[in-house]
Structure formats: structure tokens, C-alpha cells
Structure 1
Amino acid sequence: MALQIGSTLREAGSQLVGRTGAILLVTYLVLLMGFQAAFNTLFAVLYARWGFEDVAATLPLTLDVPLSVAGVGVLLGMVLALYHSVVATRTFVAGARDSFPAGALTRNVPLALLNLAVGGLVYGAVVFLGTLLFVLPGIVAYVALLFLLPYVAVEDRNFVDALRSSYRLSRGHWVRLFALVFLLVATSSLLGGVAGLVGSLLLPRGVAQLVIVLVQTPVSLFVAAAIAVAFRQLRDEAAGESPVSPRNAETPSTPD
């Protein structure tokens, strides 16, 4: 059975309206706002040191903290964002709407983060090199290696095995996966572009940036949920199992 794009999108949406989806949305929103403030502060301090005080003064959402604190905040935000993606992927693949799956918050977290950090660099490098080779190879690589995160987060694979497994799982489903990715990227870009345009024309810079974050949060999580559901569909099909529905999935609560 081929990847069902319609059901994938519907299930992804249903994941976000459950209890776990709401928790993930709120925590991701707080995380993005904190990261944006630390990021803006870092560059505001750097611009001021380089003699561009006027540029530094235009950056919104800045904090009155030293450069070192802002730098630590940026690094911490990146690590927490990676951790959030691990928890979200484990939750979405399990189809858990009412409670987080057992171990979703704590199982092999350091190893998963390390493999995702290194694997993400390798993934990005492969896509970049492929894009340089007349663009199409980069698109093929992006889709073929799309399931790096689910394999690392859900099945505790190392990044090399995860990339290989993603390639094998996507083989034979590339066209539909490309269509799914295209829809997700196009929708995300459209909503982000509209939010950015409206914000830049009608709102102060600080408020405009907050609006963009508010739009990015549910869109980013929806994309993550759609990829997780697609992974579940194809993995279960490859294993000869019936796909798990969020309505009847067992979602044991984790004590974490």
C-alpha cells in the first residue's frame, strides 16, 4: 500500500489537538521565544562591540545580559530544541494524544541528541552537495533521508544506520513522499511569508517577530507530526503490520 497523504495530514492534525499536542505546542512556543531573545541579544551585543550601535538598537526582543550569557542561551536553546524534537517524534509516531509514551522523555536522550547533531550535519552536507549537482540530487537526498529523526528518536539507531534505514524505507515511495514534503514546505513557506509581510507592514518589529513565532510554532509541529505519521505508515507496512491509529493506540503514561 502506498503512502496515504490525506490520512497522514489528517492524523498529523489530530495529534496537535490532543493533550500531548497542546503540551508540545506550549513548550515549543516558550522555547522559540526564549531562543529568539537570546539570539537577538547575542547579535545586538556583537553589533555594538563592532561599532554598529544603530543596527544593534533596531533588534527587537533583546535582553540586558552579557555576551557570554546570550551565547549560552543560544546553545542551550539549540539543545532543548533538539530534545523537544525527540520527545515530539516519539509521541507522534506512537499516536499518543492523551499521555506521553513510556520513556519518551528520558530514554537514551544523550545518545539520541549526539546522533541527531552529527547525523543532521551529515544529512545537511549530503543535501547541500546534491543541490550543487544540478539541484535534483539534493531534492532526492532530502526526501530519501527524511526519516533520520524517527529512526534515531524512536528506534534508538545510530545516525549511520538511521540514514541507511531511511533510504531503504523511502525507496519505492519517493514520489508520494516528495509530494508530501512539497505540500508541507509550500504551506509552511506561505504562512511564514504572509506573517512576515503583514508584520513588517503593520506592526512594530518586536510584535512582528512575536507574530512570526506564533505562526511558526504550530506549523513546525504539524510538519514534524506529518513526517512521524508517514514514517509510522511506511514502517508498519514494511513490517506487515496494521497502521496504528491515534484513536486506538495504546498510550501508556510515563512517570517522567
Structure 2
Amino acid sequence: MTKENIFNKEEFADLLERAKGDRSINRFAEETGVSAAHISRFLRSLIEAPPTPETISKFSSKAYNDVSYRDLMAAAGHIAITKENGSIGLDELEDDDSDEVDNRRPYVPTRNASIDPISPNERRMEMENLEKRLFQVILSYLYEAPFQWNMQKPDSRMRFPDMIVDIDDEKYSRWLLEFKAYPEPNRGFGLPPQHIYGRLAMIEFSPKDKFTIVVNSERAFQYFLRRPPVSIRANIYVMLVDIEKGRVLTEEQLSSYEI
């Protein structure tokens, strides 16, 4: 760890106090999922080791007073922000569980990547909210569809796909949908099609099944069109939705079930 990347306990304590705001320690602990005793020790600068990026993500996701994920990461010594140009460098991030009771692997950004002021937890919640809005658009679309339909009851053991609908259509009898939301139109493409196609390859489809990947980004839509699956026997489509206007814009077929 370089001199510029040392854990500044006092600065971190000040930022954490600002992030807590007028809430009690117990209330802040309840909202973030970090123990009150642990928060108290950080506020009193009693912990020598910096919190993991995952713990910082929990703090920033519930922070008051505009305290950002990047501010806390810098104070913890995980990143260095140069005074000359405000650029960010990353120090080695060790998988230190000393401040985290959860044994899941902490979030570790790639070396020399830019650090988003929005934490991974906040980004994940944003995407979940967008995917709920995609679901509402599809639901409205179904209510106006020219065929009868019935949504299957969700199975808590199954995380893929997001939605299954039995439909009375001339071509298909079952419609499976997976929602992939993208917070900003110009952000990088986070999930490669190969990841979804790999999961699809493990599902047995019939010629009467239709699988649709629903996206809210023109860039993601075009990305899927340029990279269709080549060896999956399934009727796979990609659909572009305008969340703000609440409507389906277009749908294109990527592959077909060849008997």
C-alpha cells in the first residue's frame, strides 16, 4: 500500500458520521446491515484495518449528506485521487474479512478502473427498479394482446427466466421472458449475450416455446442483434422497450427452433 493509499481513520470516521446524519447508530446499523458495535468502533477510529469495499457499499447505499461511495473508498485507502487531475488509482485490495461477518467475497474493482460515485448496492437496486418497470410494460402489453394468456405462478427456486406466460397463440403456447435493464444509455454493456445463451443452452425448449430478452437500451438491443446464438435450438427474440413511454418499440428474432 502506498503512502497516498493509507487508511485515514479520522477522515473515514468524519465521513461516516456525515453519512449517518441525524440517525442513531442503531438505526443506521439496521438500515445498512452492519452491526452497531462495528459502526461505533469506526466512528471512534478504533479499528486499524479499513472496511472492505462491500461494507463501504452498504454504508454509501444509505448515506446522508451526499457522502458517496468514492469518498468512503478514498478515505479507506482503497483508491487514490490525485490532486492534479482528480484521476483515480487503485491499490491492491485484499480479501480481508476482519470487518465483515458475511463470508461472501467482497466487491473488488479492477485495477485502474474508474470508481463510480454510486456504490454497487445502489447500482443493483437501480437495476432492480428498472427491471420492475420493464415487467409493468410487458404486463400492459399483454393486456392489449390479441390472444388469451395466463401468467405462471413464480417458483422461488427458479431465478431464470424472470417471467413465464402461457399463451393461446397460433405459433406459440408458452412465452418466457428475461428482463435486462441498463441504467444509462451510454454506459458499457455489462452482461454479454454469451452469459444468457449459456443459461439457455441448459433449458429444454419445445417448438411452441418463445423466449424473449427484454432490454431498455438501444445499444444493448443492437448488441444482441449482432451476436445471435448459433447452436441453441430455441425461438429466441430480443425486445426493445421504452420505459419512460411505457411501450414496446420493437422485437426481432435471433434464432428459431429447427426440427
Q: Shorter-chain TM-score: what band?
A: under 0.3
* Structure of greater Rg: 2
- Structure in which a larger fraction of residues adopt strand: 2
- Structure in which a larger fraction of residues adopt helix: 1
Ranked by relative contact order (alpha carbons within 8 Å, sequence separation 6 or more), the top structure is 1
